[in-house]
Amino acid sequence: MEGIKLSNGVILPPVGMGTWQISDREVLARLIGTGRTQGYSLIDTAAAYSNERQIGRALAETGTIRGEIFLSDKVWNTCRGYEKTKEACKASLKKLKTDYLDLYLIHWPASSRQHPDWRELNTDTWRGMESLYREGLVRAVGVCNFQVMHLEELLKTAEIAPMVNQIEFHPGMLQEDVVSFCRQKGICVQASSPLGNGRILGNEVLAEIAGEKHRTPAQICLRYALEEGISVIPKTADVRRLAENIDIFDFSLTEEERRRIEAIPYCGGLGIDPEEGDRNG
């Protein structure tokens, strides 16, 4: 499967394994081992998921060769700032038992509702990300949940532009303004929660298109994102779903089907406002 080239030339796998809320080492080992045979290489985690150590052990137990996987991690809100960001990354590297990350992201922007100095906080945190990138500890850097206002302010001072913006993206929540801005600036969009919170899978339009294609609603959601040039990281602890989520490369959507999907109103998702997302930091 063809990857997505980031602005610095690093190739981002189009489909990855999300690990949010999965912390059992044996489950992770089973998912990683099975996923590797199915074609997965991207593993997405975060310091806030509290499973980095378990993932590191699972990778060791499955005999996974480091160069054959793409490890993505995130710095949490309590570690904002230049020095704390660098320290947080090094702590994550130790837990994952690796010398580098393929992608490192800021988990949430410092928001204007929570922090009067939000611009400075985001700028200082990004300086830490740039330093990690220059030192070779991370191959690519980016952000999560940044809206246009956050990106505009960050780009005023950034010496290296974010290469990825991971946002909630799925039918009913396409975030056209953020996606459009990222495309203009050469920032790759990556979809977290590409299946929403599961409720969207019962949507009638998705069900109809899935029936016409002899596919599942989940596969329709993921295929739509891929055709938009967006990387997806669906999360599942079920190896059967794992196979389903990556089996999306041998069909395509018609223009009419895409328009029907784009007309779906909000029908479920996490829906966390980025201006509220950093309450724990």
- Annotated catalytic sites, by residue? 49
Could you tell me if 130 and 123 are in contact, meaning their C-beta atoms sit under 8 angstroms apart?
no
Helices 82-96 + 118-134 axis angle, to 10: 50
Q: How far is CA 45 from CA 182, 214, 217, 229, in A?
A: 22, 32, 25, 22
Question: Tokens 């809320």 correspond to what residue?
Answer: 21
Residue type for position 109: P
What length does the chain have?
Answer: 281
Task: Say which residue the tokens 């969207």 belong to.
Answer: 200
Cα 206 from Cα 192, distance rounded (Å): 19
Please give the C-alpha separations between residue 69 and each of 11, 63, 74, 102, 179, in angstroms, as whole numbers: 12, 12, 17, 9, 26
Partners of 74 in beta bridges? 105
Separation CA 281–CA 114 (nearest Å): 9
Q: Which two tokens stand for residue 14?
A: 């189009």
Residue 120 half-sphere exposure, CB side, CA atoms within 13 Å? 3
- The first and second tokens of residue 155, run together, are 């780009």
